[in-house]
Structure 1
Amino acid sequence: MKQENFFTQMSAERALAEQNLLATRAILVTQLRAAGVARARIHYEGYDDDGNVGCIELEPPHISLPDSLYQRLEDFGWDFAYSYNPGLENDCGGGGELDWNLQRDAIDLSYCLYGDEENIPEEYKDQ
């Protein structure tokens, strides 16, 4: 009985996290477009039980975002990538790039494990 409750709770938490991610994405798309951003490339990586966004490249490149919007974009990038590759920061780690075309609101995500000998990236297109 306790195991059922655990899985039910985990499922509910995942559903809520996905809803929050979708809501955040909708708000960010509007705010980033209003700021003139056409594309955001977010590079992320994790290893040794820690992870973060390494850098964000915006197009056009001359755009400077307010700190709060930049931080929300950074947080979204990590959360989105992590939702596809939970635990990426474990062991040897992994990393990749989130390429967000804001004009179409389409995200291409690439990811690879650092300890993987073949090092073949996983790719998720038009998310």
Structure 2
Amino acid sequence: MTNPQIDYAAMAAQWRAERETTLKASRVELLAQLRALGISEVAVQYEGYGDSGNVEDVTVQPAEVQLPEALATEVGDFAWSLAYHHHPGFENNEGGYGTLTWDITADSVTLDHADRYVECSHSYDEGL
């Protein structure tokens, strides 16, 4: 049974604040590691639909820098979490997709995201 005393708006705000704190900490940690490798840019492509999704690709610039697999996974997880933070539930139904581009030098993130949806136009004519 639903507890009428629960403040769902406050709970959602708390969860959002916790996610922001986690994302900021991850960003600081990843930024240091990526800069140490001489990486100037990271691009992460992701896609989700039908209640699931994943990171499709993680690329870095300069291209000759080899991103360790564990770090690539961490970067992908960060990108997915950031996309989800700004577009919660995008992986449901028709889904969504996008690219997170992170300028490591300037520590600036651009999120290019698209949501898919089904549109329906219905008409009903009787007694014409």
Give TM class, smaller chain.
0.7 to 0.9
TM-score (norm: length of structure 1): 0.85
Contact kept, 8 Å, 2:48 with 2:95, in 1: the verdict is yes
Deviations along 1:32-71, one digit per CA (max 9) or x if unpaired, are 0101110001001100000111001110111112222111
SS of alignment partner, residue 2 of structure 1: coil
The answer for the alignment partner of 1:27 in structure 2 is 29
- Identity, % of aligned positions: 35
How far 1:116 sits from its partner (Å)? Answer: 6.2
1:2 aligned onto 2:14: no
Query: Post-superposition, which runs of at least 4 consecutive aligned residues in structure 1 deviate over 3 A?
Result: none
The answer for the alignment partner of 2:113 in structure 1 is 111
TM-score (norm: length of structure 2): 0.84
The answer for the alignment partner of 1:40 in structure 2 is 42
How far 1:104 sits from its partner (Å)? Answer: 0.1
Indicate which of 36, 55, 58 corresponds to 1:56: 58
The answer for the alignment partner of 1:120 in structure 2 is none
- Larger radius of gyration between Structure 1 and Structure 2: 2
The answer for the alignment partner of 1:18 in structure 2 is 20
RMSD of aligned alpha carbons: 1.4
> Structure 1's 116 and 26: CA in aligned 2 closer, same or farther, altered over 3 A?
farther
Query: How many equivalent pairs are there?
Result: 116
- Partners in 1 of 2:13 and 2:28 — Cα distance? 23
Indicate which of 92, 95, 99 corresponds to 1:93: 95
